[in-house]
Structure 1
Amino acid sequence: MLPDLQYSAIRYESFAQDILAPLAFPVHASLSLTWSRPKGLDRPSFASASKLKYAPCAIGTRWGPVWSTAWFRVRGKVPASMRGFPVGLRFSSGTEGTLWVNGEPVHGFDPYRDFALLIPRAKGGETIDCFVEAACNLPLGISTFWWDHPEQHARWKEENPGRVEVCELVAYDHDAWAIGQDFDSARRLMLALDASDPRAKEIDAGLRALHASIPAAAPRTALRTARKSLDQILLGSRRDADSTCNAVGHAHIDTAWLWPLVETR
């Protein structure tokens, strides 16, 4: 039998994924998606790729083989319903990718990062026309790890491991996104603590009360009070238990051998 805190964590994880996470993108709009496949393992420049012939591409399309490249073109217009919102592109080819806007690389995609901001504040009616250069590999070459889903392990042993998973225009609500992130951060902190730690029990009680206060059918109505509750949960009642968080960047230069030499260079 799982300890009580682990049962709580499972319930909170589902709530964060199914109820809170979708609030970050309150408006969705479809986009035109076409693609072009360079021959073999060719890696054309943007100037060359933008002149290739593009054909319609559907969500769910599988592609490969590993180390190959595909270019996607994304086009559409910002609907009036997104007026006043920050607007971005959600895109995933199931692999790594680079977003090109006006001929410049501006953002990276991978299986864990599928959102790129395009317009800080939309007026409605803006034209969207951008490209994604997708590489059929993962953040660490084509390696999968023990924590990856079994489906991902199986897919990356197949001939066409890439998969077009999403391509849509979305309005972005940063405050809602932050609440979802903080809720899940509190959940993870609770799990990292010993089950007997009073702080773990305090977080569990706070998240349980917050969970109960947010109606699943209309969660957006409770976001303002949720923000205040989350701040208190993360701050805690013991000021002598404050933590310091240091963000330290790093580069896995020791993993260069996981890519073909042409990629590493």
Structure 2
Amino acid sequence: MSEEQNRPLQLTAFCVRGEPISYADALRGTFTPIAAGDAWGPPWSTTWFHVQGKVPESWAGRRLGAQFDLGYDGPAGFTCEALAWKDGKPWRGVDSNHRWLPVEGPDIDFYLEAAANPRATEQGSEPAPSMIALRASPEPAFVLRQAVLTSRAAVEAESDEGPLDPRHKITSVGHAHIDTAWEWPIREAKRKVARSWSTQLALIEEYPDYVFAASQPAQYAWMKESYPDIYRRIKEKVAAGRWEPVGAMWVEADCNLPSGESLVRQLLHGKRFFMQEFGYETRILWLPDVFGYPGNLPQLIYAAGCDFFLTQKLSWNDTNKPEHHTFMWEGIDGTSIFTHFPPADTYNGSFSREEVERSVHNFKDGQSSNRSLYLFG
């Protein structure tokens, strides 16, 4: 991209230590100028960025966006992220996978609620950093690398690679796997859901054929309580068939340690929430990131009124990989449930050609089926 296609944006910042504050309270804060190269965000703090700028008249008719590098030092979920607020409402998420916000009109004016989330664990022999020490540290954890108005080509270049094998049919499903309990405070998990789901709502508006799937009624309940505008829009998209609640369980629960009664209650509370809130009964147990399953699970799935089970994590086994991708799983009481492992061996697909081809060539049940799911997002 040539130099004249980027213009710096004007930013001011207001840092909040401790627990996050509301958008209305943030507007009353004291904002000071900040620019690319400046440090921001002590660990676990929140920095509100006020983003302003003007679109040059000579750029009229171009595809424009505000592009950010907040100082990401890891993949999404392991580093800083932000929720963009526009006209007082949650707009879109900004993270290492979503760095670009669309710009319309001559004036640019919105806010970023940026979470300075440090990387909580490190692999290797060195001890992990103390979360308590990080929380108390006054030192900024990140450096703002980029905040520019940028011009993009209206049409992306098409791949000149050949077509994929047409005999195998892939249904691609956009979803956002978000651990309800992760390497950050629960309040950060709530903000992560708002960042991810506001982005999906924007994409649904942009792409008329796009349908998004999201599990875990617990996270819907968070949106209902803390982000009513996001929740209102989700309900509209569910009613329009553009957003599919999946999962059946209250959260994507561990299935190794809990008792059968605990799993029953996961199914009871999960299905009841979707039925009461959306008038929708999900028929699938959606557990892509669970590390194992008890032999009584088919019986519980069937008794809960579900017909299908989706999972994936066992494909990462280094020794005893699953022998099938699409099969009937028979439980210890003889109950059978239609089960599917997406053959791309991931639930966070990037839609690369390599992953899509893997869905075709890695599929182990081609003699009985020519269809599979591909989970991206």
TM range (shorter): 0.5 to 0.7
Conservation of the 8 A alpha-carbon contact between 2:62 and 2:154:
no
Moved over 6 A (4+): none
Which of 48, 59, 70 aligns to 2:25? It is 48
Partner of 2:94: 109
Give deviations 1:163-188, integer Å, cap 9, x for gaps.
2111111122241xx32xxxxxxxxx
Conservation of the 8 A alpha-carbon contact between 2:40 and 2:143:
yes
> Against the structure 1 CA distance between its residues 242 and 171, is the aligned structure 2 distance closer, same or farther, given a 3 Å change threshold?
farther
> Against the structure 1 CA distance between its residues 61 and 143, is the aligned structure 2 distance closer, same or farther, given a 3 Å change threshold?
farther
Distance 1:88 1:264 in 2: 27
* Structure with the bigger percentage of helix: 1
Give deviations 1:183-235, integer Å, cap 9, x for gaps.
xxxxxxxxxxxxxxxxxxxxxxxxxxxxxxxxxxxxxxxxxxxx4xx34x232
> Which secondary structure does the structure 1 equivalent of 2:172 belong to?
coil
**Bigger Rg over Cα:** 2
Conservation of the 8 A alpha-carbon contact between 1:34 and 1:55:
yes
Partner of 2:181: 256
Which of 152, 158, 164 aligns to 1:172? It is 152
Q: Does 1:234 align with 2:162?
A: yes
Aligned-pair distance for 1:245? 4.4
Aligned-pair distance for 1:30? 1.9
Unaligned runs of 5+ in 2: 72-79, 191-377
Partner of 1:132: 112
Distance 2:175 2:122 in 1: 20
> Which secondary structure does the structure 1 equivalent of 2:162 belong to?
helix
Q: Does 1:34 align with 2:3?
A: no
Unaligned runs of 5+ in 1: 1-21, 147-152, 180-226
- Where relative contact order (Cα < 8 A, 6+ residues apart) is larger, the structure is 1
Distance 1:54 1:234 in 2: 52
Kindly tell me the number of residue pairs found equivalent between the two proteins. Answer: 171
> Against the structure 1 CA distance between its residues 244 and 65, is the aligned structure 2 distance closer, same or farther, given a 3 Å change threshold?
farther
Identity %, equivalent residues: 33
**Superposition TM-score, scaled by structure 1 size:** 0.55
Conservation of the 8 A alpha-carbon contact between 1:92 and 1:164:
yes
Aligned-pair Cα RMSD in Å = 3.0
**Superposition TM-score, scaled by structure 2 size:** 0.40
Q: Superposed, which structure 2 residues align to 1:83-232 within 5 Å?
A: 83-94=60-71, 95-119=80-104, 126-137=106-117, 142-143=120-121, 159-175=139-155, 178-179=156-157, 227=158, 230-231=159-160
